[in-house]
Structure 1
Amino acid sequence: MVEIISKRDGSRREDVAMKRLIEQNRATITRLADHISGGSYSAGKAPKHKPQAKGLIIHSVGSARPTTDASPRIRISLNGRVIVVDENSGRQLHHIGDLRGRDGNDVFVLATKANQYFSPVDEDIAAALADLDGGRLGPDYGEEQLAADIGNRLGMT
């Protein structure tokens, strides 16, 4: 046997009767809910007051930066990113490139469009560091020497 249930227009007769019963006994239901919740049911239904700005301390993150001159320095991070940082604030100013492992050696890869970087370095920086792109690091030429060469070529000495 198959029963076909179709949706009628409007609410079901049982739902209408239940809604009417709840509305007729709204005061009693509210009183019981307040008794059980210790008054927090009605307190939760009360209109909320908007917070007043009087006495609050408002901190704007963007405007609190010091206006001292930047002191740029080349840093190679632990994950191989070669970046220019401000020594005064520790903030990253530019991403120069990365150290990537190829054939067991670390290779410096300059952040250019040719190397498929989303945000490449400026053309002036790319021209100054073009011959370092693809250079291998080894025991005689390490990260410190690479950072010093980049700093010298960018005039950060």
Structure 2
Amino acid sequence: MVDIISRRDGPRREDVAARRLISENSATIRKLADNLSGGGYSAGLTRPKVPKAPEASGLITHDLKAPRAKDEAKPFIRISVNNRVVMADMNSGRQLEFLGEIRREGGQRHFRLARKQNGFFSEMDEELSAALADLDGVMVGGSYPEKSLAADIGARLGLT
């Protein structure tokens, strides 16, 4: 029931005493376990064990199905709930490029490109940065909603 491992040859006196105490009181221990688990302990002992799946022992398995064709990336501009502006793949939903974020400055929301001078650690690609340079700092909200910002970014990057 309990295996106690020690570094010495043979069991220690304390281990022998503990094992004897457990074996002598096993009926009481089972009653307590059933009482605490609502009978689940004994039910678990009588339930047949589920056999394990066979393990491959030194065998090499091959999947003979054709490899899944990777779809061409279909990029779109997504503005998330936490104001991150990213270029994502329509097919997989994965982020392709982080473009920037919408920040609240002086009570107004402004779009900031992912550049070091805007406080970002890693900058975006130079081509993307040049294409979107005039949108850096543009005020978002009111007459220029997030959808318009996403459409303008998509148009400048040739996504629409």
Q: TM-score range by the shorter chain?
A: 0.5 to 0.7
Within 5 A, what are the aligned runs for 1:144-155?
A: 144-155=147-158
Q: 2:95 aligns with which of 74, 92, 96?
A: 92
**1:94-123 residue CA offsets vs partner (Å, 9 max, x unmatched):** 110000112222100000112121111011
Partner of 1:54: 56
**1:49-77 residue CA offsets vs partner (Å, 9 max, x unmatched):** xx97339xxxxxxxx98621111110101
Q: Which runs of 5+ in 1 are unaligned?
A: 1-18, 39-50, 56-63
Partner of 2:124: 121
**27 and 93 in structure 1: CA distance in 2 versus 1, 3 angstrom threshold:** closer
Could you say which structure has the larger radius of gyration?
1
How many equivalent residue pairs?
A: 117
Does residue 1:83 correspond to 2:71, yes or no? Answer: no
Partner of 1:131: 134
1:114 partner SS: helix
1:144 partner SS: helix
**28 and 146 in structure 1: CA distance in 2 versus 1, 3 angstrom threshold:** closer
Match for 1:114: what amino acid? Q
**1:12-46 residue CA offsets vs partner (Å, 9 max, x unmatched):** xxxxxxx9xx84x47853751561585xxxxxxxx
Runs of 4+ in 1 over 2 A off after TM superposition: 25-31, 51-55
Partner of 1:32: 20
**31 and 100 in structure 1: CA distance in 2 versus 1, 3 angstrom threshold:** closer
Within 5 A, what are the aligned runs for 1:4-43?
A: 23=12, 25=13, 28-29=16-17, 32=20, 35-36=23-24
**33 and 53 in structure 1: CA distance in 2 versus 1, 3 angstrom threshold:** farther
Match for 2:127: what amino acid? D
TM-score relative to the length of structure 1: 0.63
**100 and 31 in structure 1: CA distance in 2 versus 1, 3 angstrom threshold:** closer
Q: Which runs of 5+ in 2 are unaligned?
A: 1-7, 27-52, 58-66
